[in-house]
Structures are given as C-alpha cells and as structure tokens.
C-alpha cells in the first residue's frame, strides 16, 4: 500500500504542506508529487491518494482540475482519498478541497476524511504559524482511518 500526495503550488506553500503530509505518513511508501509529474496508472486499489491545491479564484488550480478530469469514471475504484487546500483568511475565500473531494469521489475513490483547509497569511505566504503541525496531525488522522 502506498501513498501519493499530489499537489499544485504557485509560491511553495501547498508544496510545503504536501511534503509535510507525505513525511508524516509513517509506515507507508509515501511521496509528494507535483501535478506535472502525476501518473494515475501508478495507483492501485488500497493505495492512498491525497490531493492538495491553493484556492485560486474560488476553486482549485486549472492544473489540478485538469489532472483529475482526465481520469476515467472508475479509475480510482478502491483507492482511498482525501483533499486539502491552502487559502487566505478572507470572508469569501471560495473552496478547492471540497471540489477536489467531489471529483475524487466521482472517479470512484473512497473519501476517508473531510476536506481540510490550511491558511496562509498573504497570497505568497507564509503559512500561518502551526499549519505544519496541523498537517502532521491531519496525516495521522488519515493513517488512523486507513487502519480502521
Ligand atoms: C490568482 C490567485 C487567485 C487567488 N484566489 C484566492 C481565492 O479565491 N481564495 C483564497 O482564499 N485565496 C486565494 N488566493 C490566495 C491563495 O490561496 C494563496 O496564494 C495560496 O494558498 C498559496 O499557496 P501556494 O504557495 O501553494 O500557491 C489566490 C492567489 C492567487 C495568486
């Protein structure tokens, strides 16, 4: 059983969270994969796919949306999955993680955790203090879901 943490990132903040999650998935062969290098053929039933994107214009980046939209209807059947986004503290921030979760489910994945948000202080970052620890804890919660 392996884990792929697929991400897109303009300024490196989502990449940092993706790498933290990947590093905290102890006991699994886990890697953080930039969207340009994603190969869905690598994923098999029982594997974990975590997908993260910055919110850009109230939605995931076009690259993440495209990478998921080209998957076959049933391509993620048996794959466990979860999604996260990075976002600003603004009143109307929109959403990426929820949209990604929906797309993962539409392609057959089993969603094992609610969509998770991580916060940046400004568009370019940095991440809020404590978001790294929050990412590790979230990864732990994913491991617990997988063990149940
Ligand atoms: C073109 C653009 C559009 C953005 N739109 C939103 C948005 O709709 N909601 C939001 O909360 N943040 C928005 N942001 C801020 C991003 O969420 C922030 O840049 C991102 O979390 C940083 O992560 P990254 O370093 O991985 O790109 C936007 C940023 C850019 C550059």
CA of 73 to the centre of ligand 1 (A): 29
Mean pLDDT of 83-96: 95
Q: How many domains does the structure of the chain reveal?
A: 1
Q: Are residues 46 and 80 in contact, defined by beta-carbon separation less than 8 angstroms?
A: yes
Q: Which residues line ligand 1 (CB under 6 A)?
A: 9-14, 54-58, 86-88, 90, 93-94, 120, 123, 125
44 found inside a domain: yes
Q: How far is CA 113 from CA 29, 62, 97, 129, in A?
A: 20, 23, 11, 23
Residue 9 maps to a domain: yes
Instruction: Let me know if residue 147 belongs to a domain.
Output: no
Specify if 148 maps to a domain.
no
- pLDDT at res. 1: 85
Q: Is residue 49 part of a domain?
A: yes
- Quote the Cα angle for 96-19-138, to 5°: 65
Q: Which of 35, 26, 53 is nearest to 118 (CA)?
A: 53
Res 148 pLDDT > 90 = no
**23-34: average pLDDT:** 96
pLDDT band at 35 (very low <50, low <70, confident <90, very high): very high
Enclosing domain of residue 59: 2-142
Return d(Cα 8, Cα 12) in angstroms, integer. 9
Q: What is the pLDDT of residues 93-145, one digit of tens each?
A: 899 999 999 999 999 999 999 999 999 999 999 999 999 999 999 999 999 99
In a domain, 57, yes or no: yes
- The domain that holds 38 is classified in CATH as 3.40.50.360
Spacing, Cα 57 to ligand 1 middle (Å): 7
Answer whether residue 77 is part of any domain: yes
What is the pLDDT at residue 30? 97
């Amino acid at each position: 059983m392996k884990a792929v943490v697929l991400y897109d990132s303009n300024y490196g903040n989502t990449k940092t969270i993706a790498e933290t999650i990947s590093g905290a998935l102890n006991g699994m062969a886990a890697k953080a994969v930039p969207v340009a290098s994603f190969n869905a053929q690598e994923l098999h039933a029982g594997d974990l796919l975590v997908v993260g994107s910055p919110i850009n214009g109230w939605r995931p980046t076009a690259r993440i949306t495209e990478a998921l939209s080209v998957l076959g209807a049933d391509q993620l059947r048996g794959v466990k999955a979860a999604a996260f986004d990075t976002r600003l503290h603004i009143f109307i921030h929109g959403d990426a993680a929820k949209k990604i979760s929906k797309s993962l489910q539409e392609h057959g994945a089993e969603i094992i955790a609610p969509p998770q948000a991580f916060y940046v202080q400004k568009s370019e970052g940095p991440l809020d203090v404590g978001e790294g620890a929050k990412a590790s804890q979230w990864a732990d919660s994913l491991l617990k879901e997988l063990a149940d």
